[in-house]
Amino acid sequence: MIDLKLDLPSDLFDGQYSEADFAVRLRELAIIELLRAGRLHEHEAKEMLGVERWELVAKMKAAGVAPTEDLFAGIQDELKQAIASKRDRNRRKGALC
C-alpha cells in the first residue's frame, strides 16, 4: 500500500469540503487514472472502489475513460463498416464485369 502526502494549504478545507472528502476523491481519481494507464483492470478498480459496475462506468466516463463495453462497441462498429465497404466494392466490381 502506498501512502501519498500532498503539500497543500490547510485553509483550502473546511466543514463544507474536508480533507477526508478530498482524500476520498483523490483516491478515486488515482484509481481511474491507473485504469487509463492500463495498470488496473476494471474489475480490480470496481473492487478497490467498492462500487457496482454501473457506478464505475459512470465514474470512468466522467473522467474521460472509455469503459470496455464502449471500446468493444467502437471496434464492432468499425468492423461492420469495413465489412460493408468490402461488400460494396465487391458488388461494384461484379457489376463492371
Report percent pLDDT > 90 for the chain.
60
Helices (H) and strands (E) in the chain, counts: 4, 0
Q: Using 50, 70 and 90 to split pLDDT, how confident is the model at 40?
A: very high
- Ranking 11-25, 32-46, 56-70 by mean pLDDT, the lowest is 56-70
**Concatenated DSSP letters for 27-67?**
HHHHHHHHHHTTSS-HHHHHHHHT--HHHHHHHHHHTT---
Distances from the Cα of 6 to the Cαs of 1, 19, 49, 65, in angstroms? 16, 11, 21, 25
Mean pLDDT confidence for 60-83: 81
pTM exceeds 0.75: no
